[in-house]
Amino acid sequence: MTNASSLERRLRSELTGDVLFDPFSRGRYATDASFYQIVPAGVVAPKTMDEALRALAIARDEGLKVTPRGGGTSQCGQTVNDGLVVDLSKHLNRILSLDLEGRTCVVEPGIVLDDLNRQLKKHGLWFPVDVSTASRATIGGMAGNNSCGGRSLRYGTMRDNTLSMEAALADGTLSRFGEVSRDLAEVDADDKVRALFRDMLDLGMREAGEIAARFPKVQRRVGGYNLDALVPRNAPNNMAHLLVGSEGTLALTTKVELKLWPVIRNKALGVCHFGSFYEAMDAAQHLVKLKPIAVELVDRTMIALGRDIAMFRPIISAAIKGDPDAVLVVEFAEEDQADNLLRLKQLGELMGDLGFGWSNDTRKWGGVVEITEPALQSGIADFRAAGLNVMMSMKQEGKPVSFVEDCAVPLPHLADYTARLNEVFARHGTSGTMYAHASEGCLHVRPVLNLKLEKDVKAMRAIAEEAFALVREYKGSHSGEHGDGLVRSEFHETMFGARLVADFREVKQRFDPDGVLNPGKIVDPPRMDDRSLFRFKPDYRVGELKTKLDWSAYPGAGGGFQGAVEMCNNNGACRKLEGGVMCPSYRATRNEKDVTRGRANTLRLAISGQLGPDALSSDEMMETLKLCVSCKACRHECPTGVDMAKMKIEVLAARAASHGLTLRDRLVGYLPRYAGLASRLAPLANLRNRSPWLRRLFERFAGISARRTLPAFRSDVFAPPAESVGPEAGREVVLFADTFNRIYERENLEAALRVLVAGGYRVHLKPASGSRPLCCGRTFLSAGLVDEARAELDRLVTAFTPFAARGVPIVGLEPSCLLTLRDELASLRKDKDAKAVGAHALTFEEFLVREAEAGRLQLPLGSVADKAVVHGHCHQKSFGAFKPVEQVLRLVPGLKVETIESSCCGMAGAFGYGADTYDASIEMAELSLLPAVRRASETTLVVADGTSCRHQIHDGTGREALHVARVLALSLERAEPNSTSTTAKEPSHG
């Protein structure tokens, strides 16, 4: 490798896209979803395809390797190498053309599958290679791996749906790869490309017999190069099919032409239960005879882990009956729903014919749970798609490891293969998890190993050799979906024979004679167990850390902080662009630095010393976390439970300890302490908002954007009218008056108080310790002042414990404050008083829904508007507390409730006020929230519970958003005093 600084200088001078050569950025691109880690020399994210090709040329001139990369979710190490990484996902992600009549499209390689399908859906079309990583997998990456997806039984693989590709060879030669005749008569290309095509077709003819003899006869064969695309019997031959599955080793893809299909309009699922895993595997060969589009396995381990994940628990409760050893999810998707229902009936009959029944003993226990509700079908699909990551959610040193991940065997052998594979695992002192594509005989199989231990690395090697021997015995494929990469390429000779491996090498040499493009994959690979290439290398160590929060649920240094950080397996779920909340900053910037995965990788590298001393509290680490809005979405939506908001608190605490506090930190963190004084001096405290000079001064010295108006202090802060209000005999409830509503928007607390009293509740308002109102400590945590936050929470627990001890609910209006009692409090105190307070903490809407469902809520409500659009606070979504917001609003007569499908509002406490984060804040809000509010009519209510959310909506649209408590109070006012009152019954769950 020549001097990387020369490469960097040339790239910076000739490209307008990102050029990243600092250690932190290179570290973030050193891993994919495999267990490997190779630090690249540098990274570029070109803005145009011409820039991508220019980067290739410069790297070649400088003697560097080039690895094209999409979502970076490869499980076999395909997208890591020590040269230049070209990230095609940030900018090169457009649909270039769409032929609706011919059902084809041409796309850039960086487009994400879900994004493509969202754009196609309005035309009634989709691209059906539906991989479980669809929310972040790019078409270029899928072509590189020859991805398959869960419905390949009907739709085939990536190869089957790729019509042509445009790609550049390593020397920059650009050409179209598509169907060609054996005489190449129609090929419009220069002599070099024609000669290349001629040589490939000649190789196909020469080796046709060997290919027929040695290539596995299963659909799920994605190992090696697709030499079978070159044989005469497949004429006309499609040269793009040689590039599909080539893992970026032959050419750099610039365009992909895809075959499209009509969208699935109707579905029916049959969840087939089995008391015996072996019997489930044996049954698969029979179930496919009903012509489903998929048969997916979920095993006992995955079911058990799913029950511990909040977002999947209700799905499992609805779909799983009893305690099965395995279930097969059989999906029918014919155009006529009546046909699907008929097949569902036939599925039940077939299970009976196979001897299964709910009353049978274990071996033949089972039956079918029919799922026809679309929402539950989608939930099951999401759970199955998250299978890998559900398995990886184990909070222990050992994790399910991908290396015999997706071997495929003919269906009649599936039961025996899996039984013998489990015996292999047992011989090496471990067990495995299995799930996924039973319809194709391709299961995702992962033995649990700790690759920090040499003995487990040796076990991995032995298991791989024995498992691949079994696959060969059953005439299957050792690579059935996820490709070769660094894991399986080494084993090609035993799979295909020396002659075909020599052919693979000939193909690579002919396309890329200098070995520029992603070398070490498919041909001439290193050993798969070379620990110098591992994420956890032999010298990997994490020194003891002083941490502030409780991480005891995880192993490792820092009281478990190490284990929590290492939970990130790079699956990339945080890179999704729509749906849920995670990760709002990535959605705005598309930078790897600004995604949960990028931050977790940086933390792991920092605590293990790979980024130099004091990296945890360094400026670079603060830059890495700068756009993290602590929305807690990752806590809920990351399948492995990476809680970056909590981790950020540790980093901020380390930073404060080593570098002290900035003025902004002090202004934000200590707000609850000086709020009382500021309210008494409100005109003076608010002077900054009215003075352009003071705004500029605040921006310069406190980092608060001059473009923002700060919330105005008011002299009439909320003051409890009495210690308790409401009927003496009413059911008790505590109303927690948080700092934000108390000092800025007292109307919300007054509205909540009115609603609770109108409902007949005895509302306690007194809880306070000393002369200062209670505080949850949220602002202190946001500045890394954990000890100060603990002191505030100690006061709060002392005040609330007597109420919690007698079962009185503790209700709050500000989601971030109230939910601190259910989250961070448990990380700071483990005593029974703290647990009791957390257990009784409810948001305002959660409390009302609980009371309504128990038949205890009586509210005379009147009409206030025809429609309300609602934005959910991130913490409400993270803790499953948003649904009650919708339910409570539906209590209001005649009010149509529409939820804005939004991520974080972008304000996120103090984040949106920062001079250095203001632009990112607005970008997050403009993704969906602000446009949705602008589209709402003037008569439509805008509802948002979060203080920050309401301020962002006002700043961005000029509209006033209301807390739910204000909407209900208004509804109470509108109720005719002499009319029959509207009784609040159990809210609709629709």
Does the structure show a pLDDT above 60 at 988? no
List of residues 6+ apart from 914 with CB closer than 8 A: 664, 703, 704, 705, 921
Model pLDDT, residue 311: 73
Residue 1 has pLDDT above 60, yes or no: no
| Euclidean distance between the first and the last CA atom of the chain, given in angstroms as a whole number | 61
Q: Angle, nearest 10°, between helix axes 191-206 and 498-511? A: 180
The answer, yes or no, to whether residue 772 has pLDDT greater than 90, is: no
Q: What pLDDT was estimated at residue 471?
A: 94
Q: What is the pLDDT of residue 976?
A: 62
Name the maximum alpha-carbon separation found in the chain.
95
Residue 980 predicted with pLDDT over 60: no
Calculate the average pLDDT of the chain.
94
| Alpha-carbon gap, residue 739 to 719, rounded angstroms | 12
46 preceded by a cis bond (ω within 30 of 0): no
Q: How confident is the model at residue 982 (pLDDT cuts 50, 70, 90)?
A: very low
Mean pLDDT throughout 638-655? 94
Burial environment of residue 747 by CB neighbours within 10 A (0 to 12, 13 to 18, 19 or more) = middle
Q: How confident is the model at residue 825 (pLDDT cuts 50, 70, 90)?
A: very high
- Supply the DSSP string of 923-982, one letter for each residue: HHHHHTHHHHHHHS-TTSEEEE--HHHHHHHHHHHSPPPB-HHHHHHHHHHHS-TTSPPP
Mean pLDDT of 666-675: 96
Whether residue 410 has pLDDT greater than 70: yes
CA distance 41 to 16: 19
| CA-closest candidate to residue 56, choices 592, 516, 519, 520 | 516
Nearest-CA neighbor of 634 among 304, 881, 878? Answer: 878
Instruction: Give the residue, 462 or 380, on which the prediction is more confident.
Output: 462
Cα(595)–Cα(597) distance, integer angstroms: 5
What confidence score (pLDDT) does residue 983 get?
46
User: Within its chain, how far is the Cα of 578 from the centroid?
Assistant: 10
Query: pLDDT per residue over 562-610, tens digit each?
Result: 999 999 999 999 999 998 899 999 999 999 999 999 999 999 999 999 9
Q: Once rounded to an integer, what is the mean pLDDT over residues 802-807?
A: 97
Residue appearing with tokens 């319809």: 439
DSSP strands (E only) in 592-739: 724-725, 731-736
Structure tokens at 579: 């749906």
Residue 359 has pLDDT above 60, yes or no: yes
Copy the structure tokens of residue 129.
Answer: 């290679």
Q: Which of 203, 191, 212 is nearest to 239 (CA)?
A: 203
Residue linked to tokens 């192993």 = 555
Residue 342 scores a pLDDT above 90: yes
> Angle 664-812-868 (CA atoms, 0-180°, nearest 5)?
95
Mean pLDDT of 365-369: 96
735, 764 Cβ separation under 8 angstroms: yes
How does residue 913 score in pLDDT terms, banded at 50, 70 and 90? very high
Confidence of residue 984 (pLDDT cuts 50, 70, 90): very low
Q: What is the C-alpha to C-alpha distance for residues 439 and 436, in angstroms, rounded to an integer?
A: 9
Among the listed ranges 134-143, 384-393, 415-424, 470-479, which one has the minimum average pLDDT value?
384-393
Q: Measured in whole angstroms, how far is the alpha carbon of residue 179 from the centre of its chain?
A: 37
Which tokens is 413 given? 């052998």
- Helix (H) and strand (E) counts for the chain? 45, 28
- What per-residue confidence (pLDDT) applies to 4? 65
pLDDT tops 70 at residue 800: yes
Q: Which amino acid is at 658?
A: S
Q: Is pLDDT above 50 for 979? A: no
Residue 3: predicted pLDDT: 55
Single-letter code of the amino acid located at 385: A
H-run or E-run covering 153: helix 152-155
Task: Choose among 99, 191, 78, 81: nearest CA to 143.
Answer: 78
Determine the pLDDT at residue 439.
84
pLDDT in tens, 307-335: 877 778 889 999 999 999 999 999 999 99
- Per-residue pLDDT, 295: 93
In this prediction, residue 384 carries a pLDDT of: 76
